[in-house]
Amino acid sequence: MKEIITYAVITGASSGLGKAFAFELAKRKVNLILISLPHEGLEEVVQQLRAYLIEISCYETDLRCSENIVSVSNSINSNFNVSMLINNAGMGGTKRFLDADTNYLNNIIQLNVMSTSLITRALLPNLLRQKQSYILNVSSMAAFSPMGFKTVYPASKAFIHHFSRGLYQELKDTSVFVSVVNPGPMKTNKDCTDRINRQGLLGKLGLLTPGKVAEISIRQLLRKDTVIMLGLGNAINWLLMMILPIWVRLPLLTKVIEREIKKDKCFQKV
């Protein structure tokens, strides 16, 4: 009987955590389907991954557009067996709500909420056909509390968290296992690193590299951990979120973000 070749789909795969997921799975000899925006260096990532002697396909498209999601999903379903979906693509930002224009807000909502929902729905029949398959959604520690100056981002990540938990319950008696990971701060690029440094000690609590987050996430996903927490720092962070009442937590976190904005303005003036 011919062996069925299966693939893991990773969105936002050209850099940061998505790239780290690709390398972590490549080390495990998992074939990959990588999705990223055009002109983001995905081909360079693919060339580096060739050393692992696995099958790799890639799509360069903007997942903020639902028509693109339909097109990519149709192509994947027609050509590949999918045994893992990692919904990593997402975006955030720090800005006063009054300063956020329509495109800024729409981009966060479309990428974090719409694309995750639609690509999961589109690939789910494919995942269900496999003997065992996995969905990993990337949420954030920000999902556990609202905060000023990041109004839409935590709300979008709260959606991801609750969407994942609900989908897990719905699919728990099927071959598809659903998990969600809630990373804290990660130094994925220079801009992100600068923002983390401006937030002070509280902003750095639970700081991990993308490689470490990917390693822990894949290990716990395969162990069927439904909600993945990442190390002691993130556990402490989560515990503080749960213990502190909202009237303490909300202004405290908002002050941290406000400090980041003020330092950013000072940095830009220099």
Encode pLDDT of 182-201 as tens digits.
Answer: 998 886 655 555 555 555 55
Catalytic residue among 7, 59, 134, 153: 153
Structure tokens at 101: 């224009």
Q: What is the mean pLDDT of residues 225-237?
A: 87
pLDDT at 188: 62
Find the mean pLDDT for residues 234-252. Answer: 87
Q: Residue 205 above 70 pLDDT?
A: no
The amino acid at 189: N
Task: Write down the pLDDT at residue 259.
Answer: 81
> Tell me: the pLDDT tens digits for 61-74?
999 999 999 999 99
User: What proportion of the chain, given as a percentage, has pLDDT over 70?
Assistant: 88
The rounded distance, in Å, linking the Cα atoms of 191 and 89 is: 17
Tell me the average pLDDT across 136-161. 95
Q: Does 59 qualify as catalytic in the annotation?
A: no
Q: How confident is the model at residue 269, as a pLDDT?
A: 39
Residues 6+ apart with CB under 8 A from 69: 63, 115, 118, 119, 122
Residue 108 pLDDT grade (very low, low, confident, very high; cuts 50, 70, 90): very high
pLDDT in the model for residue 187: 66
Judged against a pLDDT cut of 50, whether residue 239 lies above it is answered with yes
Q: What is the pLDDT of residue 43?
A: 95
> How confident is the model at residue 206, as a pLDDT?
56
- Beta pairing partners, 56: 32
**For residue 266, is pLDDT > 50?**
no
Measuring CA to CA, which residue among 70, 72, 64 is closest to residue 10?
A: 72
Q: Which domains does the chain have, with CATH numbers?
A: 6-269 (3.40.50.720)
pLDDT in tens, 21-64: 999 999 999 999 999 999 999 999 999 999 999 999 999 999 99
Distance of alpha carbon 96 from alpha carbon 108, whole angstroms? 15
